[in-house]
Amino acid sequence: MGRRAFVVVLACVVVMMTWHPVSAWLHSKDINYDAVEKAWESGDMDDELKEDVDKMHKVKQAEERKKRPNFVGDVGIPQTMLVSMKESALDEFKASYPQIPEPTLSISNMWKEMLLNGGIDAEFFEVNETPLKVVVKIKRGWLAEDLVEFLVNQPQVDEVMWDFETYYPPGVDEKQREQEKQDAIKAAQAKQQKKKAAKGAKRKAIKTEL
């Protein structure tokens, strides 16, 4: 498939998908967000705009700590999160769009375009040899919560890890999921211990024969 055709197909996919606009706090009348964005891009910010940025930072930081008492990050700095896709995500995408290559990259590009349409600029990075995981970085840390909200509402997403917390799609029983994770860890540890014990018994048997 040519690059032009790929872009056209991807654009069609994005148009078919929907996303709620960014949170209402972004449109506060007390902050000139357009000017802040332009100044951020150019690297030139006067004292008045710096006050707006400080106000934006403090408001969002306070909101985040109120919502999440364990929050230890700083929404004013770039944020990084890890997205885990559902086991069926890539196969379903390939079945729906067989003409689009590299499903992980294509899904990431689709999300990026959708986010840009919503006013959020994020970077996506594939994780080596783990096609179901994607690292997402956002320079404007105060938009991280909106980014998480977007991601967990995508049909391909299983969970999002950000700032030592895990976020799940709406309707998921979080306690059950966490219990399943703990059970899986215990099962893996038990399997490892069993394997280690078997190796020890085998070595002991060999020594006895000698």
CB 79 within 8 A of CB 163: yes
**pTM check: above 0.85:** no
The predicted structure's pLDDT at residue 103:
93
DSSP, res 77: S
Task: Say which residue, 188 or 10, is predicted with more confidence.
Answer: 188
Per-residue confidence at 9, pLDDT binned at 50, 70, 90? very low
- Token reading at 145: 């919560």
**Mean pLDDT over the full length of the chain:** 76
The predicted structure's pLDDT at residue 16:
44
Domain 3-167 coded CATH 3.40.640.10: no
69-122 tens-digit pLDDT: 776 667 678 899 999 999 999 999 999 999 988 999 999 999 999 998 888 899
Per-residue confidence at 189, pLDDT binned at 50, 70, 90? confident
